[in-house]
């Protein structure tokens, strides 16, 4: 755990962290009292919050399964991967293709420390401590280079993380930098919180509290704002939709949830020659 100064003992347990609050909402055990206080307050303010979090996680599961089974993607760069919980990306991907490789990237020490514990026996998956806002640093990281072959298609996952990046930090440029570095035929998948037009007051109150408690900004964005980031990429069917409407497992009408949108985009193969499979 000494690598990159990574030690859970150094963690400020009094300062609530987005990774550990999210772990609490998912029913995980890698969180502290301060995280639970913020998590409970937010859940009380927005009764649909937990269902929305579960729907976001289920979206990630369906997305990874789709990418491996339908798009033949076997390399994943999971940015803002969070604290490992049931149904992590490597578990889903390697169940379908045992050769699948995953790099988990998070800025939270607890998330990365637990990721490393979980992956100790997995030769094809690693967790690194890094800031996704530094695409060059992430993409040049030695463990990214030894785990993934960036000359071949990769799926970059940015699930429920870009709403922590304010416009002043250039999320559009960050997305563009990853997209530019990827091989043609690569994919970029993301989910992102949006304004809740049905419960604007509750949502604003919850977010104010969350931001003040964590010191982290949380920005809602519309599907149109997300689409504007995807210059040069092809948004795949069914488009930018609420996460529980993205290729749902069941044909039943999805229950209403907090507004979190999800999408899958593909970097086109421009030159002649064999590219990986496109959408089924």
Ligand X SMILES: C[S@@+](CC[C@H](N)C(=O)[O-])C[C@H]1O[C@@H](n2cnc3c(N)ncnc32)[C@H](O)[C@@H]1O
- Sites of contact with ligand X (CB under 6 A): 18-19, 22, 56-57, 60, 79-82, 105-108, 111, 131-133, 159-161, 164
Task: Name the residue nearer to ligand X (CB basis): 57 or 101.
Answer: 57
- Smallest distance from the beta carbon of 159 to ligand X, in angstroms? 3
Task: Name the residue nearer to ligand X (CB basis): 105 or 230.
Answer: 105
Identify the CA nearest to 178 among candidates 195, 194, 161.
Answer: 161
Q: What tokens does 221 get?
A: 């964005």
Task: Name the residue nearer to ligand X (CB basis): 21 or 233.
Answer: 21
Alpha-helical runs (H) found in 104-153: 109-118, 135-140, 142-147
Task: Name the residue nearer to ligand X (CB basis): 56 or 94.
Answer: 56
- DSSP letter for 187, please: E
- Smallest distance from the beta carbon of 161 to ligand X, in angstroms? 4
- Smallest distance from the beta carbon of 199 to ligand X, in angstroms? 20
- Smallest distance from the beta carbon of 18 to ligand X, in angstroms? 5
- Smallest distance from the beta carbon of 271 to ligand X, in angstroms? 32
Identify the CA nearest to 226 among candidates 273, 275, 159.
Answer: 159
In angstroms, rounded to a whole number, what is the distance separating the alpha carbons of residues 246 and 3?
38
Q: Is the backbone peptide bond immediately before 238 cis, with ω within 30 degrees of 0? A: yes
Task: Name the residue nearer to ligand X (CB basis): 48 or 81.
Answer: 81
- Smallest distance from the beta carbon of 163 to ligand X, in angstroms? 8
Q: What tokens does 246 get?
A: 């993205």
List Cα–Cα distances, 221 to 160, 171, 198, in angstroms: 12, 11, 15
**Whether 278 contacts 71, CB under 8 Å:** yes
**Whether 90 contacts 119, CB under 8 Å:** yes
Task: Name the residue nearer to ligand X (CB basis): 82 or 185.
Answer: 82
């Amino acid at each position: 755990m000494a690598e990159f100064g990574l030690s859970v003992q150094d963690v400020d347990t009094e300062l609530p962290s987005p990774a550990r609050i999210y772990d609490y909402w998912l029913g995980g055990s890698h969180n502290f009292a301060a995280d639970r206080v913020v998590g409970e307050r937010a859940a009380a303010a927005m009764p649909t919050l937990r269902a929305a979090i579960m729907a976001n996680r289920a979206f990630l599961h369906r997305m990874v399964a789709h990418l491996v089974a339908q798009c033949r993607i076997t390399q994943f760069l999971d940015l803002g991967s969070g604290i490992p919980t049931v149904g992590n990306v490597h578990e889903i991907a390697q169940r379908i293709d045992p050769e699948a490789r995953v790099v988990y990237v998070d800025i939270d020490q607890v998330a990365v420390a637990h990721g490393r514990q979980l992956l100790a026996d997995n030769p094809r998956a690693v967790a690194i401590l890094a800031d996704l806002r530094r695409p060059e640093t992430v993409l040049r990281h030695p463990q990214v280079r030894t785990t993934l072959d960036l000359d071949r298609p990769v799926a970059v996952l940015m699930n429920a993380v870009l709403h922590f990046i304010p416009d002043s930090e250039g999320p559009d440029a960050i997305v563009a930098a990853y997209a530019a570095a990827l091989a043609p035929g690569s994919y970029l998948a993301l989910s992102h919180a949006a304004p809740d037009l049905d419960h604007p007051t509750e949502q604003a109150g919850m977010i104010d509290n969350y931001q003040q408690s964590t010191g982290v900004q949380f920005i809602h964005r519309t599907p149109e704002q997300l689409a504007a980031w995807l210059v040069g990429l092809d948004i795949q069917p069914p488009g930018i939709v609420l996460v529980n409407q993205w290729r749902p497992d069941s044909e039943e009408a999805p229950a209403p949830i907090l507004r979190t949108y999800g999408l899958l985009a593909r970097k086109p193969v421009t030159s002649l020659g064999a590219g990986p499979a496109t959408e089924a």
